[in-house]
């Protein structure tokens, strides 16, 4: 029987144990593991979650009982201090000695601490282990202001942790851009602007010379002479391979650290292997979990298989969520390795940046960068890795679905395409195991294949493969909301309504599992608002920033004020009030395409007092911040226009007032045009009404934006009463059946039978639910309340509108310039 000793019980050390036990029984291989920390291996990728749940067990890769069941001798809290290569013995700090036949060095890395004067002061921390986090949490309760040294991945994770602790947060980066290994200049700039809008202060090109303070941190001094006052410092400047044991034992290490290994992961001693962040392969230290897992698999093959497996490097593609902002890079993100042509699309209005690098002949995708919208990451990475043919216009890959559907794209992937890089799982393996074991849900797929259990970046593609495989087997696919609810959105919608559920936690306890996620929380909040018409601000624990403060957060961290102006009609008195408010609070004024006036530049603490004045003047919330009805645009119609057939302004006002506050899976826009000249652009809206000689034509499911779509004709030459009735049915049917964040156009595109089926449901009432939908709309109309009026008149809700939880002070970092006589955020 062979005896294998593992030094290190981190993620990679654990994965080695798991893979070894899959191939070799305890009677074949005796396994002893030494872990330096006092707890078994835990998930460092999601270390920041500890700040919200304070549970080490929630991060655990496996409990102690798993090691026992696998006959693995795990010794935690035991530091190995020496390796006797001649006698094949390891010794520990507590005097234990253990012989080995094969030794695995999986010691990982430690945080790099630069030699800064004063780094030993109280209040200086690194961000690496649960013990580090405990120290940060404890000290953070005594301060108000903290800084992170390092703007890489871990540095921004640390910044999120400090934000969660409600501390004023600063990030200091030596380089000229954030995440310099993953993002190019434009992508980094986009990320920086988004982080600043969330209230994080970013300081670029800063070289820290000393840490100020008498015994404890009071500030940072930089080489350019500037000073940043802070009471706490978290250092996250990179990693240092833990190779000290190997050096002491005379094993070859690299000049800049790391245990040198060959393609079989053997060190200079053939009986000793190194894996994970401790290993130096071809002068490369891999700081991601996926390469470490691949290394573990290669060594297991060397010990139990035919020895044919080898490690030849690893794709460094990665997808992350940083403080709610999605970031991804894949392949050659900067186009440095092979001559290529970049294609770049940046949308600052919607907050995303996309870059793909195409080979000079236009035939291959070489890499790319995504910030803000990473929905295409998995498919782009598969196209790159498998050398799939590009569309005739490669820009289609990032500009939108002008080509094949996601189902077609999945079908075109070869079976050998690696879907999960953490566990090295291919598309074919996933599809085959679904068919062989007749798997019925995503959790079963994850359990059987391990796909999606690492960093989780491949989860959307795993779900797509699952759905496509079930379709190929002739089975019905249920698109569940997320892993925490084994129900579709429509099923949850009905469960909420039938069981009169009013809160997210109640729904999760009764019909879900786990703690929820960023997919299901806002989706459920939207459903609760759509069904019960309760104040969205009272669900603020599961809402994004815009809904939490009933205002759109803008560049620089200020907010916009958007009163409702039904149909675009406004009295001179109300115009004067808007002007007076804008002047009093120094707000930027802009007339929008939706025929209303937006006021920009308000601080959080100013929002209630501004709205108090507007409500007193008769204004209501315009819901510009919500997934709700925004505007119903109109032309001047027959009232003024010589071509106008009907009074489009009055109808637009009636319709907007009827549906104001209506919450939906996505924003809704409408328009009413007084004749076929279409000055209100009704056919580019979610619903559009156009006057005819005999009445009105009703169009539905159009939209503008990045992927514009013309609305479809639902009913022709109908009277006003019929038009409103069909609109009631259409909107409630959409709210009831659409998936989260699907606009009406996307909803219709996915609907079997398309516009003809929708016409049958809404106009012909083939489902017999027309009256029910109308009654549901009546309930929404009768229970409507202006959200801002409710906040203004409720001291408890008003108290939420301040920048700092422990101070009434405004945000001191907001700065503005002048442009054409009005203020704008500092660039």
SS3 519: coil
- The secondary structure element, H or E, covering residue 822 is strand 822-825
Instruction: Tell me how many degrees the CA angle 494-497-500 measures, rounded to the nearest 5.
Output: 140
Query: Residue 748 has what pLDDT?
Result: 93
Q: How far apart are the two ends of the chain, measured CA to CA in Å?
A: 67
Query: Residue 404 has what pLDDT?
Result: 44
Instruction: At 185, give phi and psi (nearest 5°).
Output: -60, -45
Looking at per-residue pLDDT, the higher value among 480 and 134 belongs to 134
Q: How far is CA 719 from CA 525, 646, 690, 764, in A?
A: 36, 11, 12, 16
Nearest to 804 by CA among 143, 232, 133, 218: 143
Distance CA 376, CA 398 (A): 7
Distance CA 33, CA 503 (A): 46
404-477 shares its CATH topology with 555-782: no
- For residue 36, name the pLDDT band (cuts at 50, 70, 90): very high
Q: How many C-beta atoms lie closer than 10 Å to residue 580's C-beta?
A: 12
CATH number for the segment(s) 404-477? 1.10.10.1100
| Least trusted range by pLDDT, from 73-82, 226-235, 421-430, 655-664 | 421-430
Instruction: Average the pLDDT over 178-206 and give the result.
Output: 89
- The secondary structure element, H or E, covering residue 371 is strand 365-371
Distance CA 371, CA 187 (A): 6
**CA 757 to chain CA centroid, nearest Å:** 34
Every domain of the chain and the residues it spans: 2-109+240-304, 124-237, 404-477, 481-532, 555-782
Q: Is 308 exposed, middle or buried (0-12, 13-18, 19+ CB in 10 A)?
A: exposed
Q: Is 561 exposed, middle or buried (0-12, 13-18, 19+ CB in 10 A)?
A: buried
Looking at per-residue pLDDT, the higher value among 349 and 526 belongs to 526
SS3 399: helix
Report whether pLDDT(287) > 80: yes
SS3 532: helix
523: left (phi over 0), alpha (psi -120 to 50) or beta: alpha
Percent of the chain with pLDDT over 70: 96
Average model confidence (pLDDT) for the chain?
89
Decide: 4 and 20 in contact? Cβ < 8 Å.
Answer: yes
Distance CA 88, CA 93 (A): 17
Query: Residue 821 has what pLDDT?
Result: 87
Report whether pLDDT(482) > 60: yes
SS3 690: strand
What six digits make up the tokens of 383?
Answer: 């196209």
Does 641 show up as a binding residue in the annotation?
A: yes
Instruction: Tell me how many degrees the CA angle 54-59-60 measures, rounded to the nearest 5.
Output: 125
Instruction: Average the pLDDT over 503-508 and give the result.
Output: 90
SS3 756: helix
What six digits make up the tokens of 118?
Answer: 């004063």
Report whether pLDDT(406) > 60: no
Q: How much is the pTM?
A: 0.59
- For residue 756, name the pLDDT band (cuts at 50, 70, 90): very high
Decide: 638 and 644 in contact? Cβ < 8 Å.
Answer: yes
Query: Residue 403 has what pLDDT?
Result: 40
Instruction: Tell me how many degrees the CA angle 453-456-461 measures, rounded to the nearest 5.
Output: 105
Q: How many C-beta atoms lie closer than 10 Å to residue 799's C-beta?
A: 9
| Least trusted range by pLDDT, from 98-112, 551-565, 571-585, 775-789 | 551-565
> 519-537 b/e with 16+ CB inside 10 Å = b?
ebbbbbbbbbbbbbbebbb
- For residue 768, name the pLDDT band (cuts at 50, 70, 90): very high
Q: Positive or negative CA dihedral for 566, 567, 571, 572?
A: positive
Query: Residue 402 has what pLDDT?
Result: 41
Q: Positive or negative CA dihedral for 457, 459, 460, 466?
A: positive
Query: Residue 409 has what pLDDT?
Result: 64
What's the maximum distance between 2 C-alpha atoms anywhere in the chain?
Answer: 101
Q: How far is CA 785 from CA 113, 225, 550, 660, in A?
A: 55, 54, 14, 9
For residue range 719-739, list pLDDT tens digits in order: 999 999 999 999 999 999 998
Looking at per-residue pLDDT, the higher value among 684 and 536 belongs to 684
For residue range 119-151, list pLDDT tens digits in order: 999 999 998 888 898 999 999 999 999 999 998
Question: What CATH superfamily classification does 555-782 receive?
Answer: Sulfite Reductase Hemoprotein, domain 1 (3.30.413.10)
- The secondary structure element, H or E, covering residue 470 is helix 459-472
Query: Residue 147 has what pLDDT?
Result: 95
What six digits make up the tokens of 86?
Answer: 């001649």
For residue range 574-616, list pLDDT tens digits in order: 999 999 999 999 999 988 878 889 999 999 899 999 999 999 9
- For residue 777, name the pLDDT band (cuts at 50, 70, 90): very high
Nearest to 288 by CA among 164, 466, 153: 153
> 203-219 b/e with 16+ CB inside 10 Å = b?
bbebebeebbbeebbbb
Instruction: Average the pLDDT over 230-248 and give the result.
Output: 93
Fold of 124-237: FAD/NAD(P)-binding domain (3.50.50)
Distance CA 456, CA 389 (A): 27
- For residue 396, name the pLDDT band (cuts at 50, 70, 90): confident
Does 635 show up as a binding residue in the annotation?
A: yes
Query: Residue 475 has what pLDDT?
Result: 79
- For residue 418, name the pLDDT band (cuts at 50, 70, 90): confident
- For residue 618, name the pLDDT band (cuts at 50, 70, 90): very high
Distance CA 268, CA 261 (A): 7
- For residue 163, name the pLDDT band (cuts at 50, 70, 90): confident
Question: What CATH superfamily classification does 2-109+240-304 receive?
Answer: FAD/NAD(P)-binding domain (3.50.50.60)
Query: Residue 201 has what pLDDT?
Result: 93
Nearest to 190 by CA among 555, 664, 540, 447: 555
SS3 588: strand
């Amino acid at each position: 029987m062979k005896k294998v000793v593992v030094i290190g019980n981190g993620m990679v050390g654990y994965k080695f144990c798991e893979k070894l036990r899959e191939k070799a029984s305890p009677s074949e291989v005796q396994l002893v593991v030494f872990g330096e920390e006092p707890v078994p291996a835990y998930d460092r990728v999601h270390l920041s979650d500890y700040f919200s749940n304070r549970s080490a067990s929630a991060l655990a890769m496996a409990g102690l009982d798993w090691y026992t069941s696998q006959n693995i001798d795990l010794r935690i809290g035991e530091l190995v201090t020496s390796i006797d290569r001649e006698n094949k013995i390891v010794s520990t700090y507590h005097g234990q000695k253990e012989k080995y036949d094969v030794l695995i060095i999986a010691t990982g890395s430690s945080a790099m601490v630069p030699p800064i004067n004063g780094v030993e002061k109280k209040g200086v921390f690194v961000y690496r282990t649960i013990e580090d986090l405990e120290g940060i949490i404890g000290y953070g309760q005594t301060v108000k202001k903290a800084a992170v040294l390092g703007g890489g991945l871990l540095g921004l994770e640390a910044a999120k942790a400090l934000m969660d602790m409600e501390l004023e947060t600063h990030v200091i980066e030596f380089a000229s851009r954030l995440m310099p290994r993953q993002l190019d200049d434009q992508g980094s700039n986009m990320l920086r602007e988004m982080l600043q809008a969330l209230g994080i202060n970013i300081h670029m090109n800063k070289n820290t010379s000393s840490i100020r303070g008498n015994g404890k941190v009071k500030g940072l001094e930089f080489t350019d002479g500037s000073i940043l006052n802070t009471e706490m410092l978290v250092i996250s400047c990179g990693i240092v391979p833990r190779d000290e044991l190997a050096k002491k034992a005379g094993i070859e290490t690299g000049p800049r650290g790391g245990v040198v290994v060959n393609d079989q992961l053997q060190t200079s001693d053939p009986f000793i292997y190194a894996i994970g962040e401790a290993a130096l392969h071809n002068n490369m230290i891999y700081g991601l979990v996926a390469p470490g897992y691949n290394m573990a698999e290669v060594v297991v093959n060397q010990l139990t298989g035919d020895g044919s497996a080898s490690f030849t490097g690893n794709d460094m593609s990665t997808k992350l969520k940083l403080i709610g902002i999605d970031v991804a890079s894949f392949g050659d993100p900067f186009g440095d390795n092979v001559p290529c042509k970049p294609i770049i699309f940046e949308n600052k209005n919607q907050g995303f940046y996309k870059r793909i690098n195409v080979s000079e002949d236009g035939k291959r995708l070489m890499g790319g960068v995504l910030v803000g919208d990473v929905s295409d990451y998995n498919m782009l990475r598969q196209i790159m890795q498998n050398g799939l043919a590009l569309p005739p216009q490669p820009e289609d890959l990032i500009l939108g679905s002008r080509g094949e559907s996601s189902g077609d794209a999945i079908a075109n992937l070869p079976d050998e395409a690696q879907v999960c890089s953490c566990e090295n799982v291919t598309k074919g393996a996933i599809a085959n195991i679904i068919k062989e074991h007749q798997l019925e849900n995503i959790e079963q797929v994850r359990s059987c294949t391990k796909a999606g259990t690492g960093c989780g970046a491949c989860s959307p593609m795993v779900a797509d493969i699952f759905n496509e495989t079930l379709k190929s087997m002739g089975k019905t696919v249920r698109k569940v909301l997320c892993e925490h609810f084994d129900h579709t959105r429509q099923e949850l919608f009905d469960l909420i309504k039938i069981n009169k559920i009013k809160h997210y936690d109640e729904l999760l306890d009764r019909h879900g599992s786990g703690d929820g996620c960023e997919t299901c929380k806002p989706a459920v909040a939207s459903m609760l608002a759509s069904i019960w018409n309760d104040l969205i601000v009272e669900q603020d624990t599961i809402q994004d920033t815009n809904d939490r403060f009933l205002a759109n957060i803008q560049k620089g961290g200020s907010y916009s004020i958007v009163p409702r102006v039904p149909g675009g009609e406004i009295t001179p008195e109300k115009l004067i009030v808007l002007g007076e408010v804008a002047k009093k609070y120094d707000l930027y004024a802009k007339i929008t395409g939706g025929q209303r006036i937006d006021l920009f530049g308000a601080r959080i603490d100013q929002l209630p007092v501004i709205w108090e004045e507007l409500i007193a003047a008769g204004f209501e919330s315009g819901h510009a911040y919500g997934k709700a009805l925004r505007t119903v645009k109109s032309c001047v119609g027959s009232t003024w226009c010589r071509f106008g057939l009907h009074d489009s302004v009055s109808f637009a006002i009636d319709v907007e007032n009827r549906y104001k506050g209506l919450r939906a899976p996505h924003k809704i826009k409408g328009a009413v045009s007084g004749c076929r000249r279409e000055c209100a652009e009704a056919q580019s809206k979610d619903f559009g009404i156009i006057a005819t000689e005999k009445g009105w034509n009703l169009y539905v499911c159009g939209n503008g934006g990045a992927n514009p779509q013309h609305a479809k004709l639902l009913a022709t030459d109908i009277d006003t009463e019929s038009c409103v009735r069909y609109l009631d049915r259409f909107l409630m049917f959409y709210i009831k059946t659409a998936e989260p964040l699907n606009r009406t156009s996307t909803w219709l595109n996915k609907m079997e039978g398309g516009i003809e089926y929708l016409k049958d449901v809404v106009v012909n009432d083939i489902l017999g639910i027309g009256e029910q939908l109308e009654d549901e709309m009546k309930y929404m109309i009768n229970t409507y309340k202006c959200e801002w009026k409710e906040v203004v008149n409720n001291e408890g809700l008003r108290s939420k509108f301040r920048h700092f939880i422990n101070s009434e002070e405004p945000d001191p970092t907001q700065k503005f310039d002048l442009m054409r006589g009005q203020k704008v955020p500092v660039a």
